[in-house]
Amino acid sequence: MSAADAESDHHYFQAIEEIFVVLRGSPLLLSPADWQVARRWHRDGIPLDLVRDALRDVFARRKERGAKGKISSLRYCAPAIEAAWAERRELTTPGEGAQAPAFDVEARLRALSAALPAELAGRALLAARVTALTGDPPLVEQALAGLDREMLAAAAAALDGAARSEVAAAVDRTLAGLRSRLPAGELERSRERLTHQVLRQRLDLPVLSLFSPDAES
């Protein structure tokens, strides 16, 4: 597997994890087994828009049933996602290829820009950089991933001492619940992912992705 393929797998999984956590409403680290499921989907060509929509349906149906507890595994959602993919492929004309439906990139970028909270430091500049992106969706998505990392780093740097301590405490609580499941090295590598999740929840930060729920607002 090439470095480019590995990076592409990582971006795909990260996008799914961020969308999953937003729908779940609380921080969570998806497991290595979930990573393997997402990697298989990526290699099978399942588009992110289909994964996002199927995840949304799974969470909505669970809420309608009044089910207790939170979904804690991507594998729980796998049957729904794979069924949706099979259905899309069946409806595709032979030889046409099961591609994601076209969507308005500019409209999604405008929606992401509008979703940035007013109190975010550097909001105006970031909003302008988001809406200025052009090109094919994969290139725009890659650029958004970079802007997303910048946004999270800036948001973390702008926290005062008390807020920084609260974020760190929230991350530590989540990590404590994972100590029996993950080796120490993996726990520390996961700290950044969890910190980003807590920051998003605390500051109402959108996921800067064309496939984010905020991109459809």
163-213, pLDDT tens digit by residue?
A: 999 999 988 888 877 676 666 666 677 788 888 888 988 899 988 988 888
The predicted model gives 2-31 an average pLDDT of 79
How far is 165 from 152, CA to CA, in rounded Å? 16
Q: What is the pLDDT of residue 95?
A: 55
pLDDT value at position 123? Answer: 94
Report the pLDDT averaged over residues 73-86. Answer: 94
The pLDDT of 99-103, averaged and rounded, is 60
Which pLDDT does position 97 carry in this prediction? 52
Q: What angle do CA 215, 71, 98 make, to 5 degrees?
A: 50
Position 37 scores a pLDDT of 92
**Residue 181, pLDDT score:** 66
Residue 101 per-residue DSSP state: P
Average pLDDT, stretch 99-124? Answer: 87
Q: Which two tokens stand for residue 38?
A: 């997402």
Structure confidence by residue, pLDDT tens digits, 52-70: 999 999 999 998 998 888 8
pLDDT reported for residue 184: 66
- CA distances 181 to 32, 69, 122, 127, Å, are 11, 19, 39, 39
Mean pLDDT of 10-16: 82
Model confidence at 6: pLDDT above 70:
no
pLDDT of residue 59: 93
Q: What is the DSSP string of 179-205?
A: TTTS-HHHHHHHHHHHHHHHHHHHHTP
Say yes or no to pLDDT of 27 above 90: no
Tokens coding 89: 């492929």
